[in-house]
Amino acid sequence: MKKSEYKSYDDLPLFLNAETVAKVLGVSPSSGYELMHEPGFPVLRVGNRMVVPKEQFIQWMNEHTGGGA
């Protein structure tokens, strides 16, 4: 497992792409991309682009980890 580059949620941009999701979770970029295609994951589609709103990502993290950072 890779170590996350982010120390707190405050360091995150307002919208996360697959690479940023992967960095936060400490997984490969392809795993971040796959997660963004999972039902229930908070993805916003802007044309062909997929991004994750920061606040919804934090909420998802808390719901799936029992807390978070």
Give the rounded percent of residues in the chain with a pLDDT score beyond 70: 88
Stated pTM of the model = 0.82
Q: Is residue 30 part of a domain?
A: yes
Q: Is residue 66 part of a domain?
A: no
Domain of 23? 9-61
* pLDDT (0 to 100) of residue 66: 76
Answer whether residue 27 shows pLDDT above 80.
yes
Number of domains, the chain: 1
Mean pLDDT of 8-27: 93
Q: Is residue 44 part of a domain?
A: yes
Q: Is residue 4 part of a domain?
A: no
Which residues does residue 15 pair with via DSSP β-bridges, in sequence order? 53
CATH number at residue 52: 3.90.105
Q: Model confidence over 50-67: pLDDT tens digits?
A: 999 999 999 999 998 876
Helix (H/G/I), strand (E/B), else coil: 14: coil
* Calpha distance 59→57 (Å, rounded): 5
Q: Model confidence over 32-43: pLDDT tens digits?
A: 999 999 999 999
